[in-house]
Amino acid sequence: MERFGYYLKKVENQVITKDNSCLKCTTFVPIILYMLTKQQNKLYKYLKDKIKKTNISPSFEEMKIAMGLKSKSGIQRLIDGLVERGFIEKKNNKKRAINIIEGSIPKKNSQLINLPLLGNIAAGSPIEAIENTNDNIEVPKNLVSENKKNYVLKVNGNSMLNKGIVDGDKAIIEYCNDADNGDIVVALINDNEVTLKKLKKEKDKIHLVPENDNYKVQSFNSDEVKIQGKLKGIIRSY
């Protein structure tokens, strides 16, 4: 059974203003995490019901009995998985301190929307232009803008690692043909290659900036790059 959760990845941007001054700002990239295992889903339901009834998280011993497991290490692995996927949070160095992250899971299918999965996007060196496919993927409605065209691309490479975007992620893209400095965009280069990079515009130049020290900034004349959309969120499968 697929279940969705998401958290906001905090990232720091440098924005170049019209007077060429540099400002630092914080933005948040939604990271969607989905696909709980059967055991993770069982523990999540138990935790949610138990905390709702008692207003306190159960002990490891109680969780071990409820899950029918023999060791606490098995419970710890399940908890770590729920924390990583954004379903619960655990306060460090405190016992019985598990909190449910409310609102992380759509309750009804009406809160999901089908978006076309169009192909691959390079978060590394540019790859050939996107090829259309007939595949679709469900995403939470609140991560897309109404009355705007949205689509999904699969990420290849790790050039945007410092923004929380890794190889194999699926990028939710809002179609647009222009974007602001600091936006993460789908850039079509010379009508035959696409890449996912942070945008920096400077006079008649466009710089496509990676977020990984192992990759170099790519610079082009403004007429060589077309903006095909900007990032709205990331889907990560487990």
Residues known to be catalytic: 159, 197
Contact 184, 160 (CB under 8 A): yes
Alpha carbons 133 and 151: distance in angstroms, whole number: 11
Q: Which two tokens stand for residue 177?
A: 């043909």
Reported residue count of the chain is: 238
Of the chain, the end-to-end C-alpha distance in Å amounts to: 13
